Amino acid sequence: MAGGRRPRGTRRGQEATLAAGSGAHHSLPMSDLPMSDPRLTPLAAALPATVPFVGPEAIERQRHLTFTARLGANENGFGPSPRAVAAMERAAREVWMYGDPEMHDLRAALAARHGCDPAHVMPGEGIDGLLGLLVRLTVEPGSPVVTSRGSYPTFAFHVAGFGGRLLTAPYRDDRPDLDALAALARESGACLVYLANPDNPSGAWHAAKTVQRLLDDLPRETLLVLDEAYAEFAPEGTLPDCDPADPRLIRLRSFSKAHGLAGLRVGYALGPAGLIAAFDRVRNHFGLGRLAQAGALAALEDDAWVTQTVERVAAARDRIARLAHAEGLVPLPSATNFVTIDCGRDGPFARAVLEGLLRRGIFVRMPGAAPLDRCIRVSAGPDEALAAFAAALPAALAEAREGAGC
């Protein structure tokens, strides 16, 4: 291309992949998406045209259908606290103002909840947004970073976006292999090790003492990134009692799950004061809007609603497990607001089941990496959504079995 820069990151026939879940993909032809811009950096131009997740709205548009049950995004279908809704309604009259860029009241309330100084707390635009900031602060091009193969894909997405070198350990017994993660970190000198506990997409969990042993086994220079998005659903003895000032650890929590505020995008980090302060150097200081701060603060104060939600989720998990057993499937143990269901065969078979459910208006997802790709993942939801899933599952399974010649 004489006299100009050659567009990078494009080639004839290339496809852009849209992920419906942890590795569960839908594809669109590149002609349907914007072409790469020649002004992109070499790193940006070399990245695949992927996103970690595709929302149900995008799938509805692509497939020209309307979902009757939204059970794929691990949202809290039981809704937020009425107190949070009332607080947001009051705040709506003030949306002409930016939110407090220091997030003072929310930060203070979170610090009080965790018994620490606000200097150890950083609210942000969901765990996903905080992960992006953390990777930006700590990962240079080529830096080794360790996670589980097939674990929550947004972390890997950010590592790739900042040029890190992602090293993965396979799951063992359908949950992250902590010994393998520690060994990879020691071998590579990893700057970060990511662990979701309880885990997404498996729903499994490790005891607090096991997580503490992982922390102690890591090299001194390695930071453990502990994603506790499903903390409220975890059995007693799952969450380690760690000092927020521990320089080896940063913990991430969410308002999207038990608090039912996924649409607000609110999460927070707990960690050593120096690292927490560094977020101010790169974050969007007005990113957490006025409604989000008001809703999260009110939700934090309504413990009774969270307790009720956890109970309703447990009942829904039990119902999903019964539905799975009735069809000869195996639900994996779960400490989250979803159930991962072993379809009993391989990835292509589970994909056929998922596709059959999507065609019948049931939005679910599936893990994308073996061995968990033999499963589908179903969020705990209200009775009517689970009834729709129960009605669609037998036909989807029969169709998949027929397609597999069974």
- Per-residue pLDDT at 49: 84
Find the distance separating the first CA and the last CA of the chain, reported in whole Å: 54
- Per-residue pLDDT at 35: 65
Give residue limits of the domains in the chain: 56-78+304-403, 82-302
Contact status, residue 379 vs residue 76, Cβ threshold 8 Å: no
pLDDT bin (cut points 50, 70, 90) of residue 7 is very low
Strands 121-124 and 267-270: antiparallel
Residue 390 reports pLDDT greater than 50? yes
Domain 56-78+304-403 part of CATH 3.30.70.1400 = no
- Per-residue pLDDT at 406: 67
Average pLDDT for residues 15-30, to the nearest whole number? Answer: 38
Contact status, residue 138 vs residue 192, Cβ threshold 8 Å: yes
CA distance linking residue 41 with residue 55, whole number of Å: 28
**Share of residues in the chain with pLDDT > 70 (%):** 91
pTM: 0.91
Average pLDDT for residues 99-112, to the nearest whole number? Answer: 98
- Per-residue pLDDT at 104: 98
- Per-residue pLDDT at 11: 32
Lowest mean pLDDT among 37-41, 160-164, 261-265, 276-280: 37-41
pLDDT bin (cut points 50, 70, 90) of residue 266 is very high
Average pLDDT for residues 284-299, to the nearest whole number? Answer: 97
pLDDT, tens digit (0-9, with 9 covering 90-100), for 360-381: 999 999 999 999 999 999 999 9
3-state SS, residue 15: strand
Smallest CA-to-CA distance from 122 within 341, 284, 343, 262 is with: 284
Cβ neighbour number for residue 324 with a 10 Å cutoff: 21
Domain 82-302 part of CATH 3.40.640.10 = yes
Contact status, residue 197 vs residue 237, Cβ threshold 8 Å: no
- Per-residue pLDDT at 20: 39
pLDDT, tens digit (0-9, with 9 covering 90-100), for 335-352: 999 999 999 999 999 999
- Per-residue pLDDT at 23: 43
pLDDT bin (cut points 50, 70, 90) of residue 405 is confident
Smallest CA-to-CA distance from 125 within 257, 16, 256 is with: 256
pLDDT, tens digit (0-9, with 9 covering 90-100), for 248-261: 999 999 999 999 99
**Share of residues in the chain with pLDDT > 90 (%):** 88
pLDDT bin (cut points 50, 70, 90) of residue 302 is very high
Residue 88 reports pLDDT greater than 60? yes
pLDDT, tens digit (0-9, with 9 covering 90-100), for 66-87: 999 999 999 999 999 999 999 9
Average pLDDT, the chain: 92
Eight-class DSSP state of 365: B
pLDDT, tens digit (0-9, with 9 covering 90-100), for 178-214: 999 999 999 999 999 999 999 999 999 999 999 999 9
pLDDT bin (cut points 50, 70, 90) of residue 3 is very low
CATH topology identical between 56-78+304-403 and 82-302: no
Place of tokens 């620490």: 116
